[in-house]
């Protein structure tokens, strides 16, 4: 966890300091929390910064710690701890910190399970994770520590859990399973996890012919958004079992889904480094004139004002924040493994508690 000894600051004091700074901002805004390491000989630090790049505070971290996100309407800050074993990195535990009091609420350990990915389900205050190199997909209640199996793989199969795999309502989880016996054919699955004790799994019939399509994420009404190079992008509703075409561009350049449209890069063209935005309402694409070399870990701020991404174009990974209103681009140097998240709304109108 956060180092209790460094600079004489306890875990409780450090977390409480984050809350105090969020709550005492002169104007309400979302801040960035990211892991930074500017020297291979030093431990990483957790940075609290404005989108424009102003560092408000830094907190020392133990080796393997990184921010995962927020639960409980922003009241709970989640940190994951990784370990390395046999040249692979696994998640050892995740810790839940009360952002207002600074107290450690609970720790969820993955003893012997070796998960490679954990995804938060903020709407339900629980988590989903895969264990043992994609051998099983589980749903866990962080309050009771009870884990329920959603899917177990068969022979020659492997489960993949995308980062944007949980719907906004928290009732659905999308995942993919590759069958290595039949040419790595990939199947798309959808699990109804509205009742965590009895999750149900099905393959959407209307997606059977599009198993290799790219999954972009969910829209606010729980519709899944997919991309297919031949057909553009379309949605599938697990509620109505209907699909709908919503765009006609080459989705191979997709990078991020937002509520209002899709961010993508045009590939195999002279302006391949430029980023575009396809608007669902107007059906038009706009050149944002922001350059990306090898972007990953892309995100939209909760207020939809900023596009953030980590770019490996430099010797040190840089967290870039693009202001979608002004077109300004700022950079935060030395971000480790793309580990960052947006904070809940901070400022005098902070009202999520």
pLDDT at 156: 61
Tokens linked to 66: 């990184």
More confident residue, 221 or 21: 221
Closest to 35 (Cα-Cα) out of 80, 94, 85, 92 = 80
- Mean pLDDT within 138-154: 81
What is the helix, strand, coil percentage profile of the chain, to 5? 10, 50, 40
pLDDT at 172: 92
Average pLDDT, the chain: 75
Q: Distance between CA 93 and CA 107 in Å, rounded?
A: 7
Return the domain boundaries, the chain.
1-112+340-353, 115-203
Q: Distance between CA 97 and CA 230 in Å, rounded?
A: 46
Q: How far is CA 47 from CA 36, 108, 298, 340, in A?
A: 7, 24, 18, 9
The two counts, helices (H) then strands (E), for the chain are 1, 28
The least confident of 36-50, 204-218, 301-315 is 204-218
Tokens linked to 73: 């309407």
pLDDT digits (tens, 9 = 90+) for 221-270: 999 887 765 666 788 888 888 888 776 555 566 778 888 888 877 654 44
Check if the beta carbon of residue 47 is closer than 8 Å to that of residue 340: no
Residues contacting 286, CB < 8 A, separation 6+: 276, 277, 279
> 207 pLDDT exceeds 80?
no
Tell me the torsion sign for CA atoms 55, 61, 64, 67: negative
| Chain center to CA of 149 | 22
Residue 17's pLDDT band, with cuts at 50, 70 and 90, is confident
pLDDT digits (tens, 9 = 90+) for 309-345: 887 765 567 888 999 888 888 888 777 666 788 887 6
The DSSP secondary structure of 1-25, one letter per residue, reads: -B-SSGGG--HHHHHHHHHHHHHT-
Q: Distance between CA 292 and CA 307 in Å, rounded?
A: 12
Residues contacting 208, CB < 8 A, separation 6+: none
pLDDT digits (tens, 9 = 90+) for 161-181: 777 789 999 999 888 877 766
Q: β-pairing, 318-323 with 214-218?
A: unpaired
- Give this prediction's pTM: 0.77
């Amino acid at each position: 966890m956060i180092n209790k000894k460094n600079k004489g600051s306890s875990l409780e004091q450090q977390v409480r300091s984050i809350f105090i700074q969020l709550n005492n901002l002169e104007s309400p805004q979302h801040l960035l929390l990211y892991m930074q390491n500017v020297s291979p000989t030093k431990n990483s630090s957790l940075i609290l910064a404005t989108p424009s790049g102003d560092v408000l505070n830094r907190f020392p971290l133990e080796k393997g710690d990184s921010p995962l996100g927020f639960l409980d309407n922003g009241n709970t800050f989640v940190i994951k701890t990784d370990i390395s074993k046999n040249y692979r990195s696994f998640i050892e535990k995740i810790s839940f910190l009360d952002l207002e009091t600074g107290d450690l609420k609970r720790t969820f350990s993955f003893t012997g399970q070796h998960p490679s990915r954990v995804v938060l389900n903020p709407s339900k205050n629980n988590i989903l994770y895969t264990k043992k190199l994609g051998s099983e997909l589980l749903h866990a209640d962080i309050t009771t520590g009870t884990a329920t199996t959603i899917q177990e793989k068969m022979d020659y199969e492997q489960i993949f859990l995308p980062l944007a795999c949980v719907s906004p309502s928290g009732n659905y989880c999308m995942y993919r399973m590759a069958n290595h016996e039949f040419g790595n054919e990939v199947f798309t699955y959808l699990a109804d996890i509205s009742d965590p004790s009895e999750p149900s799994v099905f393959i959407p019939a209307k997606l059977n012919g599009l198993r290799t399509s790219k999954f972009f994420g969910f829209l606010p009404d729980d519709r899944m958004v997919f991309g297919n190079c031949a057909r553009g992008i379309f949605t599938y509703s697990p509620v109505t079992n209907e699909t709908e075409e919503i765009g006609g561009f080459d989705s191979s350049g997709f990078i991020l889904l937002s509520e209002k449209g899709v961010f993508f890069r045009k590939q195999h063209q002279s302006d391949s480094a430029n980023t575009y935005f396809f608007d669902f309402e107007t059906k038009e694409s706009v050149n944002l004139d922001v350059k990306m070399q090898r972007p990953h870990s892309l995100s939209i701020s909760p207020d939809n004002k900023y596009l953030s991404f980590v770019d490996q174009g430099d010797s040190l990974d840089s967290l870039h924040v693009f202001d979608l209103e002004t077109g300004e681009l700022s950079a935060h140097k030395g971000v480790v493994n793309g580990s960052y998240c947006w904070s809940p709304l901070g400022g005098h109108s902070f009202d999520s508690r």
